[in-house]
Amino acid sequence: MEAGRVCKTGGLVLVQMPNKWGIRQSMNRFKQWLVKDNNPFRVRYWSPSELHATFSSLIGPTEIFVDGFFSLNPRPSDIDLLPWHYAAIIYFSAFLCYLSKKCIWLTFIADSLWIKSFKMGQSSL
């Protein structure tokens, strides 16, 4: 993983990724399967455990937390640009993000995750 290679020791890598088991992302994967979408540029989906294992092994200590539900990158700062029904989805997503801090299991059905890893020093043999 290039982020781990180019990050200096003690540095931070913060990446937003789609969740394989997210509510909306599961629907997207099912739709891709139905239409036999073989586009090599489509989104690649990883589970939270795959993300944690990969980032931990290639970069260092890793933490995963929720970015949002029902889309990738739902931002409350964009609400004034959206029709009311999309704004309602973003408000609900923000509420679920808040709840995910208390109910860790929500991380497994969130659509968008933050992966935060710290680059550890190389041990000398």
Confidence (pLDDT) at 96: 95
10 Å CB burial of residue 110 (0-12, 13-18, 19+) is buried
pLDDT digit string (tens) for the chain, length 125 residues = 788 889 899 999 999 999 999 998 888 888 888 988 877 777 788 999 999 999 999 999 999 999 999 988 888 888 899 899 889 999 999 999 999 999 999 999 999 999 999 998 764 43
Regarding pTM above 0.85, the answer is no
Q: Which residues pair with 63 in a beta bridge?
A: 116
8 A C-beta contact, residue 90 and residue 74: yes
10 Å CB burial of residue 51 (0-12, 13-18, 19+) is buried
Confidence (pLDDT) at 76: 87
Locate the domains of the chain by residue range. 2-118
Confidence (pLDDT) at 125: 39
CA dist list (Å): 16 to 13, 51, 80, 90, 115? 10, 11, 23, 17, 6
Return d(Cα 75, Cα 28) in angstroms, integer. 20
| Residues 75-99: tens digit of each pLDDT | 888 889 989 988 999 999 999 999 9
